[in-house]
Amino acid sequence: MNKPTEKERQIAFLKKHEEKMTEYVKYESEYVLLKQYDVKEVTYSWQSVIEVRSMAFSPKTIAVEVSIFDGIGKKLDGFEIYVLPDNVKNPTEIKNIE
């Protein structure tokens, strides 16, 4: 049996923490709050997962594209969120979400 790739480990980690990320998107995301969206559903594009460094010398994060929907299934918007794990190569816990 093959060992999971780094990206597969990252996706599995994000899926394990999907509820926490969804709570962040719905109730804490500055973008969602600024736009005053009433988010009822959040979906994730797992294949979009990549490692990113937002600024020089900042820690690497895991980025994932999200889509947000209202109560009747209408897409409101889409954007990326950035998850800062304890270890980007083999994450086990979330330190921060932006």
Query: Within a 10 A sphere around the Cβ of 57, how many other Cβ atoms?
Result: 5
Give the pLDDT score at 4: 93
Is 1 inside a domain boundary? no
Domains in the chain: how many in total? 1
Give the integer Cα–Cα distance in Å for 26 and 30.
Answer: 10
Would strands 94-97 and 61-69 be described as parallel, antiparallel, or unpaired?
unpaired
Q: Global pTM?
A: 0.94
pLDDT string in tens for the chain (98-residue length): 799 999 999 999 999 999 999 999 999 999 999 999 999 999 999 999 999 998 888 999 999 999 999 999 999 999 999 999 999 999 999 999 99
What single letter denotes the amino acid at residue 60?
K
Is 68 inside a domain boundary? yes
Give the integer Cα–Cα distance in Å for 73 and 96.
Answer: 29
Residue 23 three-state SS: helix
Residue 71 three-state SS: coil
